[in-house]
Structure 1
Protein backbone atom coordinates (compact mmCIF):
# COMPACT_ATOMS: atom_id res chain seq x y z
CA UNK A 1 0.00 0.00 0.00
CA UNK A 2 1.39 3.37 -1.02
CA UNK A 3 1.11 5.70 1.96
CA UNK A 4 1.28 8.76 -0.29
CA UNK A 5 -2.05 7.96 -1.88
CA UNK A 6 -5.43 8.81 -0.44
CA UNK A 7 -7.28 5.85 0.97
CA UNK A 8 -10.85 4.74 1.04
CA UNK A 9 -11.85 4.28 4.67
CA UNK A 10 -15.06 2.97 6.22
CA UNK A 11 -15.74 4.06 9.80
CA UNK A 12 -18.45 2.09 11.58
CA UNK A 13 -19.68 3.91 14.65
CA UNK A 14 -18.99 7.20 12.91
CA UNK A 15 -21.56 9.15 14.92
CA UNK A 16 -20.00 8.30 18.28
CA UNK A 17 -17.46 10.62 19.84
CA UNK A 18 -14.45 8.49 18.94
CA UNK A 19 -15.82 7.71 15.51
CA UNK A 20 -16.23 11.43 14.82
CA UNK A 21 -12.61 12.05 15.83
CA UNK A 22 -11.33 9.43 13.41
CA UNK A 23 -13.63 10.57 10.59
CA UNK A 24 -12.35 14.14 10.98
CA UNK A 25 -8.72 13.03 11.00
CA UNK A 26 -9.10 10.83 7.91
CA UNK A 27 -10.90 13.58 5.99
CA UNK A 28 -8.35 16.20 7.10
CA UNK A 29 -5.63 14.02 5.55
CA UNK A 30 -7.48 13.76 2.24
CA UNK A 31 -8.96 10.29 2.56
CA UNK A 32 -12.35 9.26 1.25
CA UNK A 33 -14.50 8.25 4.23
CA UNK A 34 -17.76 6.32 4.28
CA UNK A 35 -19.53 6.86 7.59
CA UNK A 36 -21.80 4.16 8.98
CA UNK A 37 -23.61 3.85 12.26
CA UNK A 38 -26.34 1.81 13.91
CA UNK A 39 -28.37 0.42 12.30
CA UNK A 40 -25.98 -0.63 9.55
CA UNK A 41 -27.18 0.14 6.05
CA UNK A 42 -26.22 -3.13 4.37
CA UNK A 43 -26.60 -1.60 0.91
CA UNK A 44 -23.84 0.90 1.76
CA UNK A 45 -21.78 -1.84 3.46
CA UNK A 46 -21.96 -3.91 0.25
CA UNK A 47 -20.83 -0.92 -1.85
CA UNK A 48 -18.15 0.63 0.36
CA UNK A 49 -16.46 -2.19 2.29
CA UNK A 50 -15.08 -4.17 -0.70
CA UNK A 51 -13.34 -1.01 -1.98
CA UNK A 52 -11.96 0.10 1.38
CA UNK A 53 -8.31 -0.02 2.39
CA UNK A 54 -9.41 0.19 6.04
CA UNK A 55 -12.59 -0.64 7.93
CA UNK A 56 -12.36 0.92 11.39
CA UNK A 57 -14.77 -0.36 14.03
CA UNK A 58 -15.60 2.37 16.56
CA UNK A 59 -18.33 0.38 18.26
CA UNK A 60 -18.88 -0.84 21.81
CA UNK A 61 -17.53 -4.30 22.57
CA UNK A 62 -21.12 -5.47 23.03
CA UNK A 63 -21.77 -4.74 19.34
CA UNK A 64 -18.47 -6.08 18.02
CA UNK A 65 -19.53 -9.63 17.08
CA UNK A 66 -22.70 -8.47 15.32
CA UNK A 67 -20.89 -5.78 13.34
CA UNK A 68 -17.98 -8.04 12.37
CA UNK A 69 -20.38 -10.76 11.18
CA UNK A 70 -22.18 -8.17 9.06
CA UNK A 71 -19.11 -6.70 7.35
CA UNK A 72 -16.78 -9.72 7.11
CA UNK A 73 -18.31 -11.18 3.92
CA UNK A 74 -17.67 -7.89 2.11
CA UNK A 75 -14.02 -7.36 3.10
CA UNK A 76 -11.54 -7.33 0.23
CA UNK A 77 -8.52 -9.63 0.53
CA UNK A 78 -6.21 -6.76 1.52
CA UNK A 79 -8.70 -4.67 3.48
CA UNK A 80 -7.48 -3.99 7.01
CA UNK A 81 -10.12 -4.61 9.68
CA UNK A 82 -9.33 -2.66 12.85
CA UNK A 83 -11.04 -1.82 16.11
CA UNK A 84 -10.56 0.76 18.86
CA UNK A 85 -12.00 -1.17 21.82
CA UNK A 86 -10.27 -0.63 25.13
CA UNK A 87 -9.90 -4.39 25.63
CA UNK A 88 -8.14 -6.51 23.06
CA UNK A 89 -8.52 -10.28 23.46
CA UNK A 90 -12.23 -10.63 22.70
CA UNK A 91 -12.36 -8.13 19.79
CA UNK A 92 -9.26 -9.65 18.19
CA UNK A 93 -10.65 -13.16 18.51
CA UNK A 94 -13.95 -12.06 16.98
CA UNK A 95 -12.20 -10.43 14.02
CA UNK A 96 -9.70 -13.26 13.48
CA UNK A 97 -12.46 -15.88 13.52
CA UNK A 98 -14.51 -13.96 10.95
CA UNK A 99 -11.92 -13.10 8.31
CA UNK A 100 -8.54 -13.92 6.81
CA UNK A 101 -7.91 -10.29 5.89
CA UNK A 102 -5.38 -8.27 7.91
CA UNK A 103 -6.66 -7.52 11.42
CA UNK A 104 -5.38 -4.80 13.75
CA UNK A 105 -6.45 -4.28 17.34
CA UNK A 106 -5.76 -0.72 18.45
CA UNK A 107 -6.16 1.20 21.67
CA UNK A 108 -5.99 4.95 21.08
CA UNK A 109 -4.14 6.75 23.84
CA UNK A 110 -6.64 9.59 23.82
CA UNK A 111 -10.32 10.05 24.45
CA UNK A 112 -13.08 11.93 22.71
CA UNK A 113 -12.54 15.09 24.79
CA UNK A 114 -8.74 15.14 24.39
CA UNK A 115 -7.42 18.30 22.76
CA UNK A 116 -5.54 17.66 19.53
Structure 2
Protein backbone atom coordinates (compact mmCIF):
# COMPACT_ATOMS: atom_id res chain seq x y z
CA UNK A 1 0.00 0.00 0.00
CA UNK A 2 1.65 3.18 -1.16
CA UNK A 3 1.01 6.44 0.50
CA UNK A 4 1.35 9.62 -1.51
CA UNK A 5 2.50 12.86 -0.03
CA UNK A 6 -0.45 15.27 0.14
CA UNK A 7 1.83 18.31 -0.06
CA UNK A 8 3.20 19.11 -3.52
CA UNK A 9 5.97 21.22 -1.98
CA UNK A 10 9.46 19.87 -1.76
CA UNK A 11 10.44 19.19 1.86
CA UNK A 12 13.79 20.86 1.27
CA UNK A 13 12.21 24.23 0.61
CA UNK A 14 11.31 26.80 3.21
CA UNK A 15 8.54 29.37 3.24
CA UNK A 16 9.76 32.62 1.69
CA UNK A 17 8.86 34.73 4.71
CA UNK A 18 10.84 32.47 7.07
CA UNK A 19 13.88 32.60 4.83
CA UNK A 20 13.76 36.40 4.60
CA UNK A 21 13.00 37.17 8.26
CA UNK A 22 15.05 34.40 9.88
CA UNK A 23 18.07 34.35 7.54
CA UNK A 24 18.42 37.31 5.17
CA UNK A 25 17.41 40.18 7.43
CA UNK A 26 19.52 39.12 10.45
CA UNK A 27 22.55 38.50 8.23
CA UNK A 28 22.18 41.85 6.46
CA UNK A 29 21.64 43.80 9.69
CA UNK A 30 24.56 42.09 11.45
CA UNK A 31 26.80 42.68 8.46
CA UNK A 32 25.96 46.39 8.28
CA UNK A 33 26.32 46.79 12.06
CA UNK A 34 29.78 45.22 12.00
CA UNK A 35 30.89 47.56 9.21
CA UNK A 36 29.38 50.50 11.10
CA UNK A 37 31.34 49.56 14.22
CA UNK A 38 34.50 49.19 12.14
CA UNK A 39 34.07 52.58 10.46
CA UNK A 40 33.21 54.23 13.78
CA UNK A 41 36.38 52.95 15.46
CA UNK A 42 38.68 53.16 12.43
CA UNK A 43 41.65 55.46 12.84
CA UNK A 44 41.44 58.83 11.11
CA UNK A 45 44.58 57.99 9.16
CA UNK A 46 42.81 55.54 6.86
CA UNK A 47 40.59 58.32 5.53
CA UNK A 48 43.60 60.50 4.78
CA UNK A 49 45.57 57.75 3.07
CA UNK A 50 44.61 55.50 0.19
CA UNK A 51 43.53 52.71 2.53
CA UNK A 52 39.93 53.91 2.63
CA UNK A 53 39.46 53.07 -1.05
CA UNK A 54 40.64 49.49 -0.51
CA UNK A 55 38.39 49.12 2.53
CA UNK A 56 35.26 50.40 0.76
CA UNK A 57 36.07 48.24 -2.27
CA UNK A 58 36.24 45.21 0.03
CA UNK A 59 32.94 46.21 1.63
CA UNK A 60 31.19 46.57 -1.74
CA UNK A 61 32.62 43.29 -3.07
CA UNK A 62 31.54 41.37 0.04
CA UNK A 63 28.06 42.97 -0.10
CA UNK A 64 27.75 41.94 -3.74
CA UNK A 65 28.66 38.38 -2.78
CA UNK A 66 26.25 38.24 0.16
CA UNK A 67 23.31 39.69 -1.78
CA UNK A 68 23.96 37.39 -4.75
CA UNK A 69 24.05 34.34 -2.47
CA UNK A 70 20.83 35.45 -0.79
CA UNK A 71 19.14 35.76 -4.19
CA UNK A 72 20.42 32.36 -5.32
CA UNK A 73 19.33 30.66 -2.10
CA UNK A 74 15.97 32.42 -2.22
CA UNK A 75 15.31 31.18 -5.74
CA UNK A 76 16.39 27.61 -5.05
CA UNK A 77 15.38 26.94 -1.43
CA UNK A 78 12.06 28.74 -0.90
CA UNK A 79 8.44 28.51 -1.89
CA UNK A 80 5.68 31.09 -1.68
CA UNK A 81 1.90 30.93 -1.75
CA UNK A 82 1.79 33.72 -4.29
CA UNK A 83 4.37 33.67 -7.12
CA UNK A 84 4.34 37.47 -7.25
CA UNK A 85 5.83 37.70 -3.75
CA UNK A 86 8.90 35.72 -4.80
CA UNK A 87 9.26 37.83 -7.96
CA UNK A 88 8.92 41.07 -5.97
CA UNK A 89 11.47 39.97 -3.37
CA UNK A 90 13.85 38.84 -6.10
CA UNK A 91 13.44 42.17 -7.87
CA UNK A 92 14.34 44.06 -4.70
CA UNK A 93 17.45 41.91 -4.25
CA UNK A 94 18.41 42.46 -7.90
CA UNK A 95 18.08 46.23 -7.39
CA UNK A 96 20.32 45.99 -4.29
CA UNK A 97 22.83 43.95 -6.29
CA UNK A 98 22.70 46.55 -9.07
CA UNK A 99 23.32 49.50 -6.72
CA UNK A 100 26.12 47.64 -4.96
CA UNK A 101 27.68 46.61 -8.28
CA UNK A 102 27.46 50.20 -9.51
CA UNK A 103 29.18 51.44 -6.33
CA UNK A 104 31.88 48.80 -6.72
CA UNK A 105 32.37 49.75 -10.38
CA UNK A 106 32.75 53.43 -9.48
CA UNK A 107 35.16 52.53 -6.68
CA UNK A 108 37.30 50.38 -8.98
CA UNK A 109 37.42 52.91 -11.82
CA UNK A 110 38.58 55.82 -9.66
CA UNK A 111 42.27 56.61 -10.08
TM-score tier (shorter): under 0.3
The structure with the greater share of residues assigned to strand is 1
Larger relative contact order (CA 8 Å, sep ≥ 6): 2
User: Which structure has the greater CA radius of gyration?
Assistant: 2
Q: Could you tell me the TM-score, scaled by structure 2's length?
A: 0.27
Q: Could you tell me the TM-score, scaled by structure 1's length?
A: 0.26
